[in-house]
Amino acid sequence: MEARLMLRNGEQLLLAVVIPVIVLVGAVRGIERVGLDLDGRPIDVLTPGVLALAVMSTAFTSLAIATGFERRYGVLKRLGTAPLSRATLLGGKVLALLLVEVFQFVVIGGVGFALGWSGPSGLGGVLALVVAALFGTAAFASLGMLLAGSLRAEATLAAANLVYLLLLAGGAVILPASLYGGLGDVVRWLPSGALGEAVRSACDGAVAVRDLVVLLVWTVLGSALTARTFKWE
C-alpha cells in the first residue's frame, strides 16, 4: 500500500523518477562544456551517481514529506492505536521504498544504457550495487523518519527539500568526491557522499567497505534518534 501511494502521487513520482532522469541527461550533455576531469567516460561516472541520487530522493525526501503530512492529517495517530511499533512502521516504509527504487533503477538504467552506459561490471557488480542501495536506503530512510517525526509537516517539507538540494549540489552524490578538492575527504563522511562512492565502486565491480560502514553508522544513528524522538502526532 505504501508503494502504491507513492507511485500514485505525482509530486513523489516527479522527485523519484523525472528529476533524476533530467539530471542524468542534462549532466551527460553538458559535462564536456564544464571541463571537469572525470576518471572515465561521463556516462559511466554520472549514471551510478544519478542512481544514488534516486535512492536519496525516495528514501529521504519523499519519505520525510509523506510521513510528515501523514502525521499532520492524523494517519499516524490512527496507526499508533494499532499494535504497530515504530520499528515495524519504519520497516514497512523501507520495504515500500525498495519496491519504488526497483522501478527507478529500471527507468534510470534504461536511460543510461540508451546513452551508452556500460552497466555494472558482471554479477559481482550487480550484487555490490544491490548492497550499496540497501545500505543507502536504510541510512536515508532513518534520517527521513527522524525529520518527519520531530518537525511539523510544513517544516519537514522545507527542511527535506533544502537538505536534498544541498546534498545534490555539494554532497558528492552525483560527482565523485575527488572532484571536490580539499572537501572531498569531508563529504565522503556524509551519507550522500558515502552512497555515491559505494554505488560508483559497485558499478566498477568493487565493494566500497569504508563507505558502507559510513552508511551503517548513519543508519544506527538515525534509527536510534528516531526511536527516541518520533511522535505519532
Burial call 61-73: b when 16+ CB within 10 Å, e when fewer:
bbbbbbbbbbbee
> Which pLDDT does position 67 carry in this prediction?
84
Contact 145, 60 (CB under 8 A): no
State how far the alpha carbon of 124 is from the alpha carbons of 121, 136, 173, in Å: 7, 18, 22
Grid coordinates of 19 = 528529476
User: Domain limits at 62?
Assistant: 2-229
> Which pLDDT does position 10 carry in this prediction?
66
Contact 62, 98 (CB under 8 A): no
Average pLDDT, stretch 208-233? Answer: 89
Residue carrying the nine cell digits 499508533: 80
- Taking the model in full, what pTM does it have? 0.88
**pLDDT tens-digit profile of 22-69?**
888 888 887 767 666 777 788 888 899 999 999 998 889 888 888 888
Domain count for the chain, please give it: 1
Which of 186, 149, 180 lies closest to 66, judged by CA? 149
**pLDDT tens-digit profile of 144-187?**
989 988 888 889 889 998 998 899 888 889 888 888 777 888 88
Neighbours of 192 (CB within 10 A): 29
Q: Confidence band (pLDDT; 50, 70, 90) for 209?
A: very high
E strand residue ranges, 77-229? none
Q: Compute and round to an integer the Cα radius of gyration of the chain.
A: 17
